[in-house]
């Protein structure tokens, strides 16, 4: 079974600190690392580690960061023939600041070559979509590219999971109808739904509102509070797994990949969301986005030794 991932590749410049800076404040960092990242590339590696083939389509610059990112994906077994190197613009970078105490982060992304992803990549995407179970999309490439990719997937009968991160103020109306599962986190769902989410009921209202716009299902992930999913037939409550979180970077990518893998293997939506939740939880227990993405063995062991926090309705 295989997945196509159309999206971003970034080099993550990660500083760990005892406190995240407030606007205008300078704080001392304690450790610095350069780690391969980007929501698209993270999802590709997560899929591959869970035992499925991942075909990545995207862009890097023709520079050492780009070469390192592609080589890293290839070492993980990801199909990289759909990644182009653009000569005139550097590879995307993300400044990632991680609060060592809580594992929370702040991320600023410079899109670089990711901003050139578009019509010129659709032939590569068509090749990547041939015979796959699912297309995984995120929002670190231009919106027209995301819409064109979702359209092509629909034409080719491939299911689409879209993580709307980073969230724009609104998604084009057409996109909702092209997406099988939309997976915003709480902040992204607030922005797209147009109201603040402060409670589980608020998250449910947002999921239902966004689902009514045309997506097959909308999952709002809530970190330590689990997730809720509006399907049109009702709402699934997904309990969280309690872990000691040290770095939340990449948890959303792990969630999306495991959800896709669970569905591709014929599990129910609820079961696949539990896989996503467990994979996200495991990822936050390790530092660095791609460092923390679990293998199949790690995920299965975690799920056999941990139960989600409460019995949710499904």
Q: Which residues are catalytic?
A: 253
Residue 10 engages ligand RIB in binding (rule: CB under 6 A):
yes
How far apart are alpha carbons 74 and 175 in whole angstroms?
Answer: 31
Residue 79 engages ligand RIB in binding (rule: CB under 6 A):
no
Comparing CB distances to ligand RIB, the nearer of 37 and 239 is 37
Residue 109 engages ligand RIB in binding (rule: CB under 6 A):
yes
Q: How far is the CB of 75 from ligand RIB (least distance, A)?
A: 17
Residue 287 engages ligand RIB in binding (rule: CB under 6 A):
no
Q: Judged by CB under 6 A, how many residues of this single chain contact ligand RIB?
A: 16
Strand partners, 85: 60
Residue 37 engages ligand RIB in binding (rule: CB under 6 A):
yes
Contact 12, 31 (CB under 8 A): no
How far apart are alpha carbons 28 and 194 in whole angstroms?
Answer: 36
DSSP string, 240-306: ------S--TTHHHHHHHHHHHHHHTT--HHHHHHHHHHHHHHHTTSSSHHHHPPPHHHHHHHHHH-
Comparing CB distances to ligand RIB, the nearer of 128 and 250 is 250
Taking CB under 6 A as the binding criterion, the range among 31-39, 176-184, 238-246, 305-313 that sits at the site for ligand RIB is 31-39
Interface positions, 199-258, toward ligand RIB (CB under 6 A):
249-250, 252-253
Comparing CB distances to ligand RIB, the nearer of 71 and 130 is 71
- Interface residue with ligand RIB among 4, 5, 7, 39 (CB under 6 A) is 39
Residue 48 engages ligand RIB in binding (rule: CB under 6 A):
no
Q: % helix / strand / coil in the chain, to the nearest 5?
A: 40, 25, 35
How far apart are alpha carbons 264 and 133 in whole angstroms?
Answer: 6
Residue 7 engages ligand RIB in binding (rule: CB under 6 A):
no
Contact string (CB under 6 A) for ligand RIB, positions 181-200, x = contact: --------------------
Residue 66 engages ligand RIB in binding (rule: CB under 6 A):
no
How far apart are alpha carbons 135 and 186 in whole angstroms?
Answer: 23
DSSP string, 43-73: HHHHHHHTTSEEEEEEEEESSHHHHHHHHHH
Q: Point out which residues bind ligand RIB (CB under 6 A).
A: 8, 10, 12, 37-39, 42, 94, 107, 109, 140, 249-250, 252-253, 289
């Amino acid at each position: 079974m295989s997945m196509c991932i159309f999206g971003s590749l970034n080099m993550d410049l990660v500083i760990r600190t005892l406190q995240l800076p407030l606007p205008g404040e300078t704080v001392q960092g304690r450790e610095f690392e350069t780690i391969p990242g980007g929501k698209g590339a993270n999802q590709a590696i997560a899929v591959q580690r869970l035992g499925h083939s991942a075909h990545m389509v995207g862009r890097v610059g023709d520079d050492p960061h780009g070469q390192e990112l592609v080589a890293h994906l290839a070492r993980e077994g990801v199909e990289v023939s759909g990644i182009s190197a653009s000569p005139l613009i550097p590879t995307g970078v993300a400044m990632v600041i991680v609060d060592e105490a809580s594992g929370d982060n702040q991320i600023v992304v410079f899109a670089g070559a990711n901003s050139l992803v578009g019509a010129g990549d659709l032939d590569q995407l068509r090749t990547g979509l041939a015979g796959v179970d699912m297309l995984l999309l995120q929002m670190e490439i231009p919106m027209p590219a995301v819409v064109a990719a979702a359209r092509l997937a629909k034409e080719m009968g491939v299911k689409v999971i879209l993580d709307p991160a980073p969230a724009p103020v609104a998604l084009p109306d057409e996109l909702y109808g092209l997406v099988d599962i939309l997976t915003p986190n709480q902040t992204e769902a607030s922005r797209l739904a147009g109201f603040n989410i402060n409670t589980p009921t608020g998250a449910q209202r947002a999921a239902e509102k966004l689902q009514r716009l045309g997506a097959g299902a909308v999952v709002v992930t809530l970190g330590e509070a689990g997730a809720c999913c509006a399907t049109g037939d009702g709402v699934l409550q997904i309990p969280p797994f309690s872990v000691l979180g040290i770095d939340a970077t990449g948890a959303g990518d792990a969630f999306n990949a495991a959800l896709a893998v669970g569905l591709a293997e014929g599990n129910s939506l609820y079961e696949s969301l539990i896989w996503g939740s467990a994979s996200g939880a495991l990822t936050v227990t390790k530092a660095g986005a791609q460092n923390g993405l679990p293998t199949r063995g790690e995920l299965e062991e975690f799920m056999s030794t941990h139960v989600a926090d409460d019995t949710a309705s499904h």
